[in-house]
Structure 1
Amino acid sequence: MAVPMILMALAMGAIISIYLPMITQTAKILGSGPMANVPFFAVAFVTSLVIALASGARGETFQKIGAIPPILLTAGAMSAAMIIGSSYLIPKIGIGTFFVLLVSGQVLAGMILGYFGLFGVPATALTLGKLLGAAMVIGGVWLVTFR
Structure 2
Amino acid sequence: MKRIRNGGAKVVRLLIMLLAVAGGIAQSTQASINGALGKKIGSFEGAFFSFFIGMISLLLITFFFGKGNLLNVFQVPKWQLFGGLLGAAFVAIQVFAVPKVGAGATIISIIAGQIIMSLIADQFGLFGNPKIALHGTRLVGVLLLIVALFLIFKGGAKA
Same fold by TM (over 0.5)? yes
How large is the Cα RMSD of the aligned pairs? 1.7
Question: Which of 80-89 and 37-46 deviates more?
Answer: 37-46
Residue identity in the other structure for 2:54: A
1:71-82 alignment, distance < 5 Å? 71-82=79-90
| Equivalent runs, 1:12-51 vs 2, <5 Å | 12-30=23-41, 32-51=42-61
Provide the secondary structure at the position in 2 that maps to 1:25.
Answer: helix
Match of 2:121 in 1: 113
The residue type paired with residue 39 of structure 2 is: K
Q: Structure 1 residues 7 and 145, CA, compared in 2 at 3 Å: closer, same or farther?
A: same
Question: Between the two proteins, what is the percent identity of the paired residues?
Answer: 24
Equivalence for 2:101? 93
In structure 1, distance between residues paired with 2:73 and 2:96: 32
What are the ranges of 5 or more consecutive residues in structure 1 without an aligned counterpart?
A: none
When structure 1 is superposed on structure 2, of 16-25 and 44-53 the one drifting more is 44-53
Give the drift of 1:56.
4.1
Aligned CA distance change for structure 1 residues 146 and 28 (closer, same or farther; 3 Å): closer
Higher radius of gyration, 1 or 2: 2
Residue aligning to 2:7: none
User: Which residue in 1 is equivalent to 2:19?
Assistant: 8
| Aligned residue identity for 2:38 | A
Partner residue, 1:141: 149
TM-score (norm 1): 0.88
Structure 2 counterpart SS, 1:34: helix
Q: Decide whether the 8 Å contact of 2:47 with 2:95 is kept in 1.
A: no
Q: Which amino acid aligns with 2:71?
A: Q
Per the normalisation by structure 2, the TM-score is: 0.82
Pairs aligned (count) = 144
Q: 2:134 aligns with which of 101, 126, 141?
A: 126
Structure 2 residue runs without a partner (length 5+) = 1-9
